[in-house]
Structure 1
Amino acid sequence: MSDLERSIIEKLQVVPGERFSLKDRDPRDSSLFGDEKETKAATATLAKSIDALQDRLYSEGSRALLIILQGTDTSGKDGTIRSVFNSTGPLGVSVHAFGPPSRLELEHDYLWRVHAACPRRGTIGIFNRSHYEDVLIAKVRGLASKEAVEQRYEQINAFEKMLVENGTTILKFMLHISKDEQKERLQARLDDPAKHWKFNPSDLEDREHWDEYQEAYEIMLQRCSTPHAPWHVIPADRKWVRNAAIASIVKATLEDMNPQYPNVSWNPGDFTIP
């Protein structure tokens, strides 16, 4: 792990057990990086490194990496996936976007659909939104009782610990944007006909509950940043900073996992290709 990667993790990670406030994290912070053009080029190089490491992970076939992207509307979950994993072979990567639960999913516990979407061994799984919706929107919109939401923090921690103990490394990223930045991005969707499909009137309803969501995120981050699956708060007002930070942490994590190509039982020199 490079000194820069270590600095990024130390600055952006929510330390388990410590008091935390989103107001202490600047969504426009770019202090960890230098020139924008150089950082974008470095991010493209990181994406290629992630591809090479993912190839080793896939061939090893014994462990998995789960990446959770959580953030308000327009925070850049789709953009992160395109920018950080654009070079990664699709065979070993799965992306699951969690929307409102179906009737079948509602007939099970809230983690049932999540467990079914977790990455198989040898792969990287990316969650665009996740089980954390069940302590965010469920809390703010009153979709579950206060008692149920309160129980879910420890249930989620236990669920993630079980995944880790069975070979899945977990990276959790909260994409932190300002209310002003969200306003600009929502307006851009209205102004560009090619982006109209991205606009959802319900986004404006959620925006009316901005402060409540920020409070729900703070509680989630403090209660569910654990030693086995810590949260990282990513400054996301600047897309190039967001992409560079996440790419750096993903690459460093895969290097730390150090997947290995399996040994073969035969000698390549014994074969002649006709």
Structure 2
Amino acid sequence: MVRKEILDALRVYTDPFRVTRGSDFSLKKFDPGETLGLEMEKEEARRLLQRGSKWLAMEQEILYAQDSWSVLLVFQAMDAAGKDGTIKHVMSRVNPQGCDVVSFKQPSVEELSHDFLWRYCTKVPERGHIGIFNRSYYEEVLVVRVHQHLLHAQKIPPGRVGKKIWDERLADIARFEDYLTRQGVVILKFYLNLSFAEQKNRFMERLHNPDKHWKFSAADIRERRYWNDYMHAYEEAIRATATEAAPWYVVPADHKPFTRLIVAAAIVEAVEKLDLEYPKPTHEHMKDLAAAREELGAEAVEGTKGARPRGDR
């Protein structure tokens, strides 16, 4: 399938959820239970996701070989929205050699001694690689905004924390992303849009299923109490940072198979648009290839004449 046909096929799944202009963005316009009319039975979902994963694996190989562009995937969501499972399934066929996953936890003492973007800057993927941020610098305008006492631990000088700090941080993030995109980093940001009711269902499943007890934390319930505050923070973040160069995807998360399909489609579409090709060999490289062919050809004709393979000695 040629690139145009692939892009046309993917656009059906990505266009409804892509946000490139935040000025009129509202979370209320996005239904967490949307499936675009697809029944999403297990077999259908598996087939569609496998196709997307296969395309992604092919594109990643060219991305790695070309060693010019890099891709940064940012995943943000409320607890139980399925970030880990989505990353696992969508990236199942990708070569681990060219993919790095970073999960940002509570900042260390060293990280708190730097500016709020410092620890994220050091993990931006190198050229030719796909980098995945499982939570990201957006936590600095989400969880820190909801729990503002966390600002005290960041050692910001007195007078630098004012009423406009969240607008200032969002502007800093937007400029940071603009800088990265101009350096050849393709940024895709995914907000897995889980409903309040479905989060409760998933929490209850974790509580009743012994195999999922390890996933449950009392902190999850405490954070659920701040649901409306988080929704406001997400809405503000997307409004301030959604651009053509670094779009947000507000992905319905109530149906996991559909979530994974949309994420896979968005990644493949973005990489396809780069119109990547394998690097063309230089003149010197062609000479090396010719010399290697000649040497190996001569070896096949002459034989080893008593010599044994090194591994048999």
Q: Normalising by structure 2, what TM-score? A: 0.84
Deviation at 1:18, TM superposition (A): 3.4
Name the CA distance, whole Å, in 2 between partners of 1:252 and 1:227: 14
- Is 173-182 or 35-44 further displaced after alignment? 35-44
**Count, aligned residues:** 274
CA 1:261–1:32: 2 relative to 1, 3 Å = farther
Partner of 1:50: 56
Equivalent position to 2:214, from 183, 197, 221: 197
Higher mean displacement: 189-198 or 130-139: 189-198
Cα deviation digits, residues 170-202 of structure 1 (max 9, x gap): 001100000111111112222222222211111
Q: What letter corresponds to residue 15 of structure 1 in structure 2?
A: T
Give the whole-Å Cα distance in 2 for the aligned partners of 1:115 and 1:236: 28
Please state whether the residue corresponding to 2:61 is helix, strand or coil.
helix
2:131 corresponds to: 125
2:35 equivalent to 1:30 = yes
For residue 9 of structure 1, what is the amino acid of its counterpart? T
Confirm or deny: 8 A CA contact 1:68 1:128 kept in the other structure.
Answer: yes
Aligned partner of 1:139 in structure 2 is: 145
Preserved CA contact (<8 Å) 2:174 2:241: yes
Candidates 4, 9, 13, aligned match of 2:14? 9
From the superposition, tell whether residues 35 and 141 of structure 1 become closer, same or farther in structure 2 (CA, over 3 Å): closer
Q: Tell whether 2:169 aligns with 1:152.
A: yes
The whole-number CA distance in structure 2 between the counterparts of 1:176 and 1:196 is 23
2:141 and 2:237 in contact (8 A); partners too: yes
* CA drift at 1:35: 4.2
Counterpart amino acid of residue 27 in structure 1: P
**1:162 CA drift (Å):** 0.7
Q: Secondary structure at the match of 2:100?
A: strand
Tell me which moved more, 186-195 or 64-73: 186-195
**Would the alpha carbon gap of residues 32 and 153 (structure 1) be closer, same or farther in structure 2, given more than 3 Å must change?**
farther
Could you tell me which runs of 5 or more consecutive residues in structure 2 were left unpaired when the two chains were aligned: 1-5, 152-160, 300-313
Q: State yes or no: 1:266 paired with 2:286.
A: yes
Against the structure 1 CA distance between its residues 206 and 219, is the aligned structure 2 distance closer, same or farther, given a 3 Å change threshold?
same
Tell me the CA shift for residue 32 of structure 1: 5.7
Deviation string for 1:142-183 (max 9, x for gaps)? 133543222101100000111111110000110000011111
- 1-side partners of 2:29 and 2:9: how far apart? 21
Do 1:77 and 1:128's aligned partners in 2 also have CA atoms closer than 8 Å?
yes
TM-score by length of 1: 0.95
What pairs with 1:92-241 in structure 2 (closer than 5 Å)?
Answer: 92-142=98-148, 143-144=150-151, 145=161, 146-241=163-258
Give ranges in structure 1 of 5+ residues lacking alignment: none
Partner secondary structure for residue 174 of structure 1: strand
Structure 1 or 2, whichever has the larger Rg, is: 2
Deviation at 1:17, TM superposition (A): 4.0
Q: What is the identity percentage for the equivalent residue pairs of Structure 1 and Structure 2?
A: 37
For 1:221, give the aligned amino acid.
I
Q: Distance in 1 between matches of 2:20 and 2:265?
A: 18
Deviations 1:113-150 (A, max 9, x none): 00101100000000100000000011111133543222
**CA drift at 1:258:** 2.3
Q: CA deviation at 1:22?
A: 1.1
